[in-house]
Amino acid sequence: MVDEARELVERLQVPVALTWGAADILPETSPYRIGTFGTHGTRAANFAVQNADFILSIGARLDTKATGTPQRNFARGARIVMCDVDPYELGKMARLGLVVQPYCEDAKVSLNRDWPLRPSGEWLARCQDWKRRYPPGPGKAYDVITQLANSCKPNEIIVCDTGCAVAWMMQAFEFKEGQRFIHAFNQTPMGYGLPAAIGAHYAMGKRIVYVAGDGSIMPNLGELATIAGHNLPIKIILFDNKGHAMCRQTQREWLGGIYPSTSIAGGLRFPNWARLALAHGFFVARDMGATLAWDGPAISICEIAEDEDVSPKNKFGKPIEEMYPELSREELEREMVVELVA
């Protein structure tokens, strides 16, 4: 249904805020792509959602990761039309009084409806201005994602594990035409990525770029032998931050920086990644370009600070000015952004 989605966007000519499940349907060059929204979304897309007067949601489910909580704070003042094949997803939003018009139908039907929306060049320009002025980050992880996006080719297959790695990708990776992004959505299974990359290679018959944090790659390390033994063209971009970064970010926010079982100080242990990869027969490099250019199995090890976070990220009960600390009160008032908590 990617083609139908893109045809609808071109027909309506309205800003598009994407869920994680649809992050790859529009290339970065599309003038309508604003970014991913929600508790781990981009500033621009969240600004657009919170200031919209009409929202058309197709197959998005609008779970609390997308809306934040309490959900009644979502899309202040917007008329929401929600299309979903699951009546229970529609029902939960109706009970909150958020959805004006539900459509219980397959997304393909919704994408082919003649929606009576009029494009607004002024609104689209404002959303693109937010996107330009408020990029994700800062941090080395975002620099790595930007370098990866610049290095990957059109029609590339990118697989990602869970945790901060997928959040950084969703916020900062700039998709090219035809690229597909494979991940486990909100199920967040650590260890998913390596077997998924193997499966993606055999399904598509092409090289796979696999992005992971050191915590997420650990549960299925045995698959390194599978990749090397079959000489599969899988390129691993590994964030080495010596712990479970997403868990640690939550522990900093709620537990005063106590990290039981999520850091080396808390008892967590990791192998020497370069030696481990070499022992399995991988080409090892810190230079991402060399890793991507290698014919067979290859890994690029990217060391980042242990306390590098996903930014922006909503914290429960905190107003949006704390989610976006780099914005002054005057800027927030000018953008007419209200509190959105997760």
Give pTM, 2 decimals: 0.89
Dist CA 54 CA 34 (whole Å): 16
Residue 25 within a domain = yes
Contact of 340 with 312, CB cutoff 8 Å? no
**CATH code for position 94:** 3.40.50.1220
The domain boundary, picked from 83, 112, 133, lies at: 133
Domain total in the chain:
2
Kindly state whether residues 205 and 275 are assigned to the same domain.
Answer: yes
Residue-wise pLDDT for 262-272, tens only, equals 888 778 899 99
How many residues belong to the chain?
A: 342
Dist CA 165 CA 188 (whole Å): 11
Dist CA 10 CA 7 (whole Å): 5
Residue 310 within a domain = no
| Helix boundaries (H) for the chain | 2-12, 43-51, 64-67, 87-95, 107-111, 121-133, 140-151, 164-172, 193-204, 214-217, 223-229, 245-254, 273-280, 288-293, 320-323, 329-335
Kindly state whether residues 99 and 148 are assigned to the same domain.
Answer: no
Exposure string of 12-39, with b = 16+ CB inside 10 Å and e = fewer, is bebbbbbbbebbbbbeeeeebbbbbbbb
The domain boundary, picked from 133, 165, 192, lies at: 133
Kindly state whether residues 179 and 244 are assigned to the same domain.
Answer: yes
Question: Mean pLDDT throughout 110-125?
Answer: 93
Confidence of residue 144 (pLDDT cuts 50, 70, 90): very high
Kindly state whether residues 119 and 144 are assigned to the same domain.
Answer: no
Kindly state whether residues 53 and 177 are assigned to the same domain.
Answer: no
Phi, psi (rounded to 5 degrees) for 151: -90, -30
- More confidently predicted of 43 and 261: 43
Domain that holds residue 89: 2-133
Inform me whether the pLDDT recorded for 334 exceeds 80.
no
Percent of the chain at pLDDT exceeding 90: 68
Kindly state whether residues 152 and 298 are assigned to the same domain.
Answer: yes
